[in-house]
Structure 1
Amino acid sequence: MNPITWAAIYLMIWWVTFFAILPLWNRTPTEEGTLTERGHDPGAPITHNLWKKVKINSLVALVVWIVVMLFMFVFRLPLPNIPNA
């Protein structure tokens, strides 16, 4: 298995964990007890803290990726062969 495959696996894990971490730590105006302006969604977060979530997600995805690589190399769980088209 080459490093491009390793990077592709990390990228897929990153996106899955990103969508799991994205809704965490969101506070809406309703939860804060403040009023929303007319035309604004009351369920929208006050601050999204996206860069904080990207950093946390990158670390979580790295840990998950390391566990996946350990299973593949230590326990000999290979990826399925995909024939060339």
Structure 2
Amino acid sequence: MTWFTGIVVYLLVWWTVLFCVLPIGTRPDSEGDPAAGGWRGAPVAVNLGWKALATTALAAVIWVGIWYMVQSEWLSFRTGIFAMPSN
């Protein structure tokens, strides 16, 4: 895996993990005052900072797993069970 491919894969994993982490711990505002700019059902405290840090850490762990799988011979299209037959 080249450095460019690694960055692209990390960004794809990061966005996927972000959408999985966003709803965690989010509580809706049951009363919501539209006059004050609120809306019933809007989240009270989103905590985007902590969710961004958790997303970054979890995406890094998943990326290392993907990198290991790509670099290892366990999942290879050149050798082993997945290898293309040579003519």
TM-score range, shorter chain: 0.7 to 0.9
Equivalence for 2:58: 60
1:46 aligns to what?
44
Q: Which has the larger radius of gyration?
A: 2
Identity fraction in percent: 26
Which residue of 2 is the match for residue 83 of structure 1? Answer: none
Partner amino acid for 2:50? K
- 2:33 is aligned with 1:37: yes
Counterpart for residue 82 of structure 1: none
CA distance in 1, matches of 2:76, 2:53: 29
Residue 45 of structure 2 aligns to a residue whose secondary structure is coil
Measure how far apart 1:8 and its partner are. 0.6
Which SS does the other structure have where 1:10 is aligned? helix
- Which whole-Å CA distance do the structure 2 matches of 1:76 and 1:25 have between them? 37
* TM-score normalised by the chain length of structure 2: 0.75
Check whether the contact 2:27–2:43 (CA below 8 A) recurs between aligned residues: yes
Matched, 1:13 2:13: yes
TM-score, normalised to structure 1, is 0.77
Give the ranges of 4+ consecutive aligned residues of structure 1 lying more than 4 Å apart after TM superposition: none
CA RMSD of aligned residues (A): 1.6
Give the letter for the 1:37 counterpart: D
Aligned length, in residue pairs: 74
